[in-house]
Amino acid sequence: MGQQAAKEVTAQIGLYDDPKVQTYLAELGKRLAAVSDRPNVPFQFHVVDDASVNAFALPGGPVFVTRGILAYLTSEAELATVVGHEIGHIAARHSVNQLSQQELAQAGLGIGSILSPAVGQLGQLAGAGLNLLFLKFSREDENQADQLGFRYALKAGYDVRVMKDLFVMLDRVSQTGQAGKLPEWLATHPNPANRLKSAEERLATTQADYSHLEVKRDPYLNIINGLVFGENSRQGFFKGNRFFHPDLKFQIDFPQGWKTQNQPQAVVGISPNQDAIFELAPSSAASPEAAARRLSSQQGIQTWDVRSGNVNHFPAISSYFQAQTDQGTLAGTACFISYGGKTYALLGYTTPAKLSAYQPTFQQVIASFNTLTDPEALNVQPARIHVMKLPRAMTLMEFNAQYPSSISADQVALINGLDKNASIAAGQQVKRVVGGVKSQPAVSSAR
């Protein structure tokens, strides 16, 4: 199940496309795994391309760290305690113990599971494997993982005093509500009030010569210099209910008030009552006609009223469909559009009884699909971490005024592990964030 979940993470969330960062984490992970209680486990270490602040361990060895948490850590020693914690879950077989206590049958997605695994991130989970990511370990399990991570990091030669800073950072981040497709650390790692206190007590009883232990602040900051911060706007972003995709050069309007999310496989929206879904996804079919034939050939799906036409001058095939699923019968409208050398599938579906009520909404979304021409949206770049060495001593507020970031001063303080009024010595490396969608492009009429 761990291997299956690892495949699902890679397919549905995606790995961060930076070999330097991936290699760095893999080497650090191997160093920690070698001193763990189960060094012969086939551990794997990957950075997942998600803005949330989290890390996950799966049975059998896969460990994932989000790029989101990398942006908030300030040293290799901090990262070592995070990775050590996750190795601790695997070494102590916590996931296996959890699985023995509960049945992880695939729950399905309510409506839409037969058509769109992507919808799982808006509702329930797409597969039994990904349920492993959302297991909540007990306080005892978390405390044991903390102890093991502490021991592994110390044994590997890291200054484990930074574990206190890690817990302070995670608590501060939890209060900001940072966005990502995956949950934040505290959603999957219960955080008892005494966790920081436990770390302090552990440190008080640890006999270690800290002068010989590594923190590796500057080497770590050099690795994450240029790291994408927050959601990657090149891969699409919302302004209100309008979705822009700069790389694929299209835009589309989702219904007002719907919950939306941009995923690697699809852009999806679910109605306020959670009884209707609309999604847009690239199709592997060579043409709209081929995509329509593929839909109608699926077992349990019937299509009718198939029509050829255009959506804003782009060739399209549309139809109604009905699908038999484990959760009941679905009905909806499908439109396959040829645009930019690709075929896009636009599907809106609900229960048969509600199709007539939702059909005008589905058609309105389909009709809004058009070329993205707004220069600001087309040229937007993702926000990135920029690490710089201070030319002189200054306060963090002075730094932020002289070298502005595209995030708030409070966030600048948070990603540097500092108080907003802290003083910074000359020559110290400091993180700022540059680029990104500071003020999102104005909504222009579809043409």
Active centre residues (catalytic): 86
Q: Using CB atoms within 10 Å of the CB of residue 384, give its burial: 0 to 12 exposed, 13 to 18 middle, 19+ buried.
A: buried
Residue 230, C-beta contacts closer than 8 angstroms, at least 6 positions apart: 51, 178, 179, 382, 383, 407, 433, 436
Torsional sign, CA 420, 424, 430, 434? positive
**How far, in Å, CA of 302 to CA of 282, rounded?**
21
**How far, in Å, CA of 126 to CA of 8, rounded?**
9
For residue 162, report the phi and psi dihedrals to the nearest 5 degrees. -70, -10
**How far, in Å, CA of 318 to CA of 336, rounded?**
6
Q: Using CB atoms within 10 Å of the CB of residue 181, give its burial: 0 to 12 exposed, 13 to 18 middle, 19+ buried.
A: buried
**How far, in Å, CA of 336 to CA of 265, rounded?**
16
Q: Using CB atoms within 10 Å of the CB of residue 357, give its burial: 0 to 12 exposed, 13 to 18 middle, 19+ buried.
A: exposed
| Residue located via tokens 């890291």 | 158
The answer to whether the beta carbons of residues 307 and 319 sit under 8 Å apart is yes
Structural tokens at position 426: 């000359």
Residue 38, C-beta contacts closer than 8 angstroms, at least 6 positions apart: 90, 91
Of the candidates 279, 250, 267, which has an alpha carbon nearest to the alpha carbon of residue 362? 279
Structural tokens at position 392: 């002189």
Q: Specify the DSSP element, H or E, that contains 309.
A: strand 301-311
Structural tokens at position 386: 């920029």
Beta-bridge partners for 55? 65
